[in-house]
Chain A
Amino acid sequence: MQFPILSVIVFTPMVAAMLILLIKPERKNGIRVMALAAASFALLLSLWVYFTYDKTAAGYQFVEKYNWMPMLGISLQFGVDGMSAPLVLLTGVVMFTGVLISWGLDDRPREFFAFLFILASGVFGVFASLDLFMLFFFYEIAVFPMYLLIAIWGWIKTREYAAMKLTLYLFIGSVVSLIGVLAMYWQSGLHTFDMLALEQAAFSPAFQKLWFPFVFFGFAVLGGIFPFHNWSPDGHVAAPTAVSMFHAGVLMKLGAFAALRVGIMLLPEGAKSWSWLIMGLALVNIVYGAFIAMVQTDFKYVIGFSSVSHMGLVMMGFSTLTRVGLTGAGVQMFSHGVMTALFFAAVGMVYDRAHTRDIPKLGGMVKPLPLVAVAFIIGGLVSMGMPGLSGFVAEFPIFMGIWQVRPLVAIIAAISIVITACYILLVIRRVFFGNMPAEFEGHIGPITVQDKVALVFLCVIMISLGLFPSLMVPWVQTGVQHLLSLLGGV
């Protein structure tokens, strides 16, 4: 029997969390080292899974199936295809860099890393799950740690409010989709939650049309789709840095991915009937998100709204239901994940030293924090879709996909590119360049080695993917191929 690599990836963080909880709270460094070890292990395994995925064979690989409850057809089934393998990798990357960035956390690191890892397990589980019940199980596991992480370690001013709002919103979204999932389970008559079987279930078009919105929009709440995006900016801002990285970098992809996996792949006819609505809402995300980002004065809110805008691109890619659009969306999930993790890491580093995120009050940060500035600039270029970086590789096919379906939408969405350029450049200039206000002189200490490693790692990923799209696009393509076959060969 082959090594159950996916189970190991999924459960490593959970096991690590339990082990961490057994360490005495005073041994902070021991806790951190253990966390880093677990994160590195998971990262290595996810790299292994990614690069040994056989693109010619395509389909679901590394499949493991354990009967969990045969009576109701629930099995613990894992597997990755071309769409989920990059996301598993993304989670590994964000987990690893998140631990590095959180090295300096001093208030109860034991509980922090434990909860963070429970979250990570949930996320891995969703990406790797091929059983609908288990997918939902892991999805929910990824919700409640957010509450504790934000409420306890977040920004004092808004953490309670943001944490509660986020948790309730996400919970609502997930239970809405639960209803849809249960309806699918019963309707299929197959008495199984096995997604591979459900893919072939052939639900009636009427059924699909009715239930698709429940399932898709329930999950898409976590993806930040307008008008259910409201939890996201506040959640981003209130969360501590590593949690923001996870939140924007991975969690939002969780929602989009689940919407894709459960909504589009299992209810393709429903997807086709409702794609116009998704496209419309995604367009609002893209343009509105960009405009709102432009008027923010809090550094982190700019990034938060920019996330809303970029997730709109992912949803837009989904809504085109074309090969290129879906490919772009798949790459965008990864590219944006890395980029936004980088952004929040950089913002966190500035905030930890300047103790303010108010843009008018900041300035001249490039001198004490040169690497942070460069990293942020690279991230900014990615978010603008600058060719040569991963953002372009992701956004360009999405636009091509939109062209195939509704050219006018492509033109409107393209406006967001310019707006993004505007606010990114302005933020970069005001925070990093210009004159440093007097109160910061001499108070901005350098970043630690762990911070540097994290930043460089993330930058290298974005640049490599930008220069060599073949590092990810072929994978995503195989996944898209399967998707298209389910959609009936669009």
Chain B
Amino acid sequence: MNFLSSHLLTLILFFPVLAALAILFLPKDEVKVIRWTALIASLVPFGLSVLVWMRFDSSAAGFQFVEQYPWYEAIHSTFHVGVDGLSLTMVLLTTLLTPLSILASFSIKERVKAYMILFLLLETGMLGVFLALDLLIFFVFWEIGLVPMYFLINQWGSEKGERTLWKGIKMQARNYASLKFMIYTMAGSLGLLLAIQMLGVLFQTYDLPSLYQKWNALEGTLMGLPVATVKAIAFWAFVVAFAIKVPVWPFHTWLPDAHTEAPTAGSMILAGVLLKLGAYGFLRLVLPLYPVESQRFAGALAFLAVMAIVFGAFASYGQTDFKRLVAYSSVNHMGFVLLGIAAAAKVGLNNPDLALNLSKNIALNGAVLQMFNHGLSAAGMFFLVGVIYERTHTRNLNDFGGLFPLVPIYGGILLFTSMASLGLPGLNGFVSEFLVVRGSWPILTIYTAIAMLGLLFTGAYILKGVKQVLHGPLNEHWAHGEHRLTEINTREIIVMAPLMVLILVIGIWPAWILEVINKAVVMLF
């Protein structure tokens, strides 16, 4: 037991790998065994993270459950993990969504073994980013997460669809999407890599807590340039890498393709967790390491955030592909996260104005909560799209219509989740969006105002989507014969249930999570 409690985070992090290894040795035809092994194995990290949550002392400062082991001493990198409120929230999100996604993947029939192994490895990759307190370890897991996702989209993504590249070369849509995803993210992380290398070279350590102090204390010239210039360049290197992931307009173009072509569970995880990696990067690295530059460029960030909100909403509205609509909605919702971050950045460190500080905290709280909430609702939305796709094999909104009477339970769940996405008060979306807006208003008034416009259109596209699917005249095609739409089944309801419960609980009583987040946020920046 002692081992357990002193190595909780490492266990959470590496258990999925062990599970993947175990699955490797299972015969590939025993599909049921593989599925259930994966599901049960993924519940273990969830259980452990709940345990951590319970034991987490939200009044204490700094990181808890810290573990540090020597890893690559030659370049002064150690395996250093720990959680604070921010990362714990994200860890919980990840370990929650993974089992649900695996459960959602029970409908995958081909090469289940490889799929599950990749999925579990993906989980480790994501958890590693959240848990890392060493910059190099952060980067390692950041990159590790890319590979399973690439293959998941590439191999199990939607089979239809083709993209035409230059010179008339045709490529399967999922190949195009996965390649774009990989290359985009890698290119973005190149700047990150270079900046990390520079930091490592400068300070002979990658330990985040010490880097926070040393980097900020640096003055004078660096490699022939004034420190401020170097910091600015490094700042943008970091920002670009994370902005691609979030994704922030205009670095978002990989997302609609990736989301649309990914298999259902892939989209759930992609939207639910992977995007949060980017935002997490902003919070954990960009703000604390570059407070001055963040303040300086906060306006630019806010601008990009607002563009994301507005354009994301407009783009969503214009979609006929249900999944693409939800994909763009992610751009839209993540824009709020960035808006909150930008607001906090604008206020800066050690601002004497108490009111602004309060707003800053509120904005940050909102941003983090939005991360969690969007994780839930986006995962839910994508799953629901998947549910209908499996039955109808189309995602075109025009093909649907008036399905409510046919599938009332599904309709109800879809409505519920859409409302959460829309930001209906009483559900989680409202709380986080409200906090962000309330926090940003005093700081970035104009931007917030424009964002509200976006919010308006959020409502528009959500309702449009829901209407085209559920309401209106019944599309006879689905009513009879072999295309008759079947209701949502038990397994699928079980997938949605925890999400819906959490959505409701956070909407009504957010204190339990906000407390944890708040403490972290306050000490973060």
Contact = CB atoms under 8 A, between A and B. Distances in A.
B154 A386 contact: no
Interface stretch (B40-48, B69-77, B84-92): B69-77
Interface string B52-92: 00000000000000000011111100000000000000000
Contacts of B175: 429, 434
Interface string A422-447: 10011001000110000000000000
A462 B179 CA distance: 24
Contacts of B182: 421, 425
Interface in A370-404: 381, 384, 386-388, 392-393, 396-397, 399-400, 403-404
B459 to A, nearest CB: 40
Interface string A396-417: 1101100110010011001101
A396 B74 CA distance: 11
B147 interface: yes
Contact of B197 (A327, A400, A433): A400
A88 B162 CA distance: 50
Interface centre among B143, B197, B201, B223 (most CB of A within 10 A): B197
A410 B186 CA distance: 16
Nearest to B198: A403
A469 B74 CA distance: 9
B498 interface: no
A35 B183 CA distance: 44
B75 A397 contact: yes
Interface stretch (B187-195, B259-267, B315-323, B443-451): B187-195
Interface string B151-185: 00011000000000000000010010001001100
A425 B147 contact: no
Given A392-B140, A396-B75, A410-B197, A418 B70 contact: no
Interface string B127-149: 00000000010011101100100
Interface residues of B, number: 31
Contacts of B71: 469-470
Contact of A387 (B139, B179, B183): B139
Contacts of B74: 324, 327, 397, 469, 473-474, 476-477
A433 B144 contact: no
A422 B183 CA distance: 7
B73 A470 contact: yes
Contacts of B155: 433
B200 interface: yes
A477 B71 CA distance: 14
A421 B154 CA distance: 15
Interface residues of A, number: 35
B223 A407 contact: yes
B223 A429 contact: no
B132 to A, nearest CB: 11
B189 to A, nearest CB: 9
Interface centre among A327, A397, A407, A411 (most CB of B within 10 A): A407
Contact of A400 (B143, B190, B201): B201
Interface string A444-472: 00000000000000000000000001100
Interface centre among B74, B140, B154, B183 (most CB of A within 10 A): B74
Nearest to B202: A403
Contact of B183 (A396, A410, A421): A421
Classify the interface of chain B: helix, strand, loop or mixed: helix
B144 A387 contact: yes
Contacts of B150: 425
A418 B190 contact: yes
B144 A324 contact: no
Contact of A388 (B144, B187, B197): B144
B72 A403 contact: no
Nearest to B142: A387
A421 B186 contact: yes
A407 B202 CA distance: 12
Contacts of B139: 387
Nearest to B150: A425
A381 B186 CA distance: 12
A335 to B, nearest CB: 14
Nearest to A393: B72
Interface in A245-278: none
Contact of B179 (A410, A425, A473): A425
A424 to B, nearest CB: 10
Contacts of B72: 393, 469-470, 473
A473 B70 CA distance: 13
Interface centre among A429, A476, A477 (most CB of B within 10 A): A429
Contacts of A415: 190
Contacts of A327: 74-75
B222 to A, nearest CB: 10
B81 to A, nearest CB: 15
A358 to B, nearest CB: 17
Contacts of A429: 154, 175, 179
A407 B198 contact: yes
Contacts of A421: 182-183, 186
A425 B182 CA distance: 9
Contacts of A422: 183
Contact of A403 (B70, B154, B179, B201): B201
A386 B143 contact: yes
A386 B74 CA distance: 18
A398 to B, nearest CB: 10
A386 B183 contact: no
Contacts of A396: 75, 136, 197
Contacts of A404: 201
Contacts of B194: 399, 410-411, 414
A195 B75 CA distance: 30
Contacts of B200: 400
Interface string A471-490: 00110110000000000000
B140 A387 contact: yes
A397 B198 CA distance: 11
Contacts of A425: 150, 179, 182-183
A470 B70 contact: yes
Nearest to B139: A387
A433 B172 CA distance: 12
B462 to A, nearest CB: 36
Contacts of A418: 183, 186-187, 190
5 contacts: A387-B140, A403-B198, A418-B187, A434-B172, A469-B72
Interface of B: 70-75, 136, 139-141, 143-144, 147, 150, 154-155, 172, 175, 179, 182-183, 186-187, 190, 193-194, 197-198, 200-201, 223
Given A324-B201, A387-B139, A470-B72, 12 more contacts: A387-B144, A392-B143, A396-B75, A403-B197, A403-B198, A404-B201, A410-B194, A422-B183, A425-B182, A469-B71, A469-B72, A470-B73
Sorted from nearest, which 7 A-B pairs have the closest CB atoms?
A387-B140, A469-B72, A403-B201, A473-B74, A387-B143, A388-B144, A399-B197
